[in-house]
Amino acid sequence: MKGKADKLLANRSLSALVAVCMILSVFSGILLLTNPNQTKAQAIGDLIVTSATYPGGYTIQNMEQPVKGNVVVSSGGVLTIRDGTLSVISNYDPAQRHYVDIAAGGTVVLEHGTITTYLDQIDPWPFLTFIVQNGGVLTASATQC
């Protein structure tokens, strides 16, 4: 009788192991589908933020926004980068030199946000001019370095 009981226990243990593996594979699939990483938006040209073009302000949130041009925040404009990245595609090549300009009355707010340049393998020296004019405001809180 002991031989049959051992075989029955082994079959039940194997069945339980298969069931647990199936449940764990479902949860791992769910984790892969819910990617917590930032998404990357399509690169845009010049980003010009004014109170007229974006009355409520322009917000980059939980994503990386590449800009293939200059970033200008004019008077009354508000650019907020919340848990995201503004990546300006700029390097030492004169045709690729871009800038971020916060004009008088313009505001840039970084809330766990990052402003950076794009690095490529061909010309890996970043070049970004960052201008905060008299009366422009740059506010950063808990930003990443």
Phi/psi at 68 (nearest 5 deg)? -100, 55
> What does the CA dihedral 55, 39, 111, 89 come to, rounded to 10 degrees?
-80
pLDDT score at 34: 60
* pLDDT one-digit tens code per residue, 71-91: 999 999 999 999 999 988 876
Q: In sequence order, which residues have a C-beta less than 8 Å from that of residue 88 and are 6 or more positions away? A: 66, 67, 71, 98, 100, 115, 116, 117, 118, 128
Task: Specify the pTM.
Answer: 0.67
* pLDDT one-digit tens code per residue, 38-70: 566 777 888 999 988 888 899 999 999 988 889
- Mean pLDDT for 131-141 is 91
Q: Which residue has the higher pLDDT, 34 or 69?
A: 69
pLDDT score at 122: 64
* pLDDT one-digit tens code per residue, 15-33: 777 777 778 777 666 665 6
